[in-house]
Amino acid sequence: MEFLLGPPFMVGVAVVVGLGLIYARRTYQRCPHCGRLVRRVAQGWLRCGFCGRQYRRGLRLR
Ligand SMILES: [Zn+2]
């Protein structure tokens, strides 16, 4: 059983982490005002729950 926790296991973990990061980057973005993690805007504008200001897709202030 020990060989199952070797390199193949680490590769599996790396793949899962990589896919998770890709998914997170597609789902979340940084608030352009305060830099915190907020939901990515699909359409129109959203209000940041931390600083209360509105942001939209592709807006870069920092
Ligand atoms: Zn904010």
Lowest model confidence (mean pLDDT) among 9-13, 17-21, 55-59: 55-59
Q: What is the pTM for the complete model shown?
A: 0.61
What rounded mean pLDDT belongs to the chain? 87
Query: Cα Rg for the chain, rounded, in angstroms?
Result: 17
Report the pLDDT averaged over residues 22-36: 90
Burial class of residue 31 (count of CB atoms within 10 Å of its CB; 0-12, 13-18, 19+): buried
Q: What is the C-alpha separation between 59 and 18, in angstroms, rounded?
A: 26
Which 3 state secondary structure label does DSSP give 39? strand
Q: In this structure, are residues 48 and 55 in contact, taking their beta carbons and an 8 Å threshold?
A: yes
Residue 22 Cα, ligand 1 centroid: separation in angstroms?
A: 22
Residue 20 Cα, ligand 1 centroid: separation in angstroms?
A: 23
Domain boundaries, the chain: 2-56
Residue 30 Cα, ligand 1 centroid: separation in angstroms?
A: 8
